[in-house]
Amino acid sequence: MMGKQFQKIKTEQLESISSGDKSFEKELVEIFLEQIPSFISNMKLFLAENKLANLAKEAHTAKSSALIFGLTTTGDTLKEIQLLAESGKNENLSELLTIVEAELDNAADQLQELLSHNYQ
């Protein structure tokens, strides 16, 4: 059985933001790597506590970070979480968070590899 095909990170947006400054790119990668576990745990906690306004804000912040690394599919899912949470609807949020968690975990693995190969 084949595993889920995850979206590959793309560095074009990162390179555009940094204007080719590799140390700045490295810093952004490291910040996002630090943020990923927090994004996931905060969103799960906000859902568990039915704090949907907080969940919407966290999803919005995570979406912005994901898009810097070309994770448009993850960004779209986070936007869906944000909009559902803003409208006070919590159906499907648990499933969507599970998807986002897997995508962000995979992105973290790719970012670790990027760090070890591109930013010595």
Per-residue pLDDT tens over the stretch 19-68? 989 999 999 999 999 999 999 999 999 999 999 999 999 999 999 999 99
In tens, the pLDDT along 57-105 reads 999 999 999 999 999 999 999 999 999 999 999 889 999 999 999 999 9
Q: What tokens were used for 98? A: 């599970």
| Helices and strands, number each (H, E), in the chain | 5, 0
Cα–Cα distance, 15 to 83 (Å, whole number): 29
Structural domain spans, the chain: 22-118
> In the numeric block, which tokens belong to residue 106?
């995979």
Contact present, 79 and 63 (Cβ < 8 Å): yes
Domain 22-118 coded CATH 1.20.120? yes
pTM: predicted TM-score of the whole model, two decimal places: 0.91
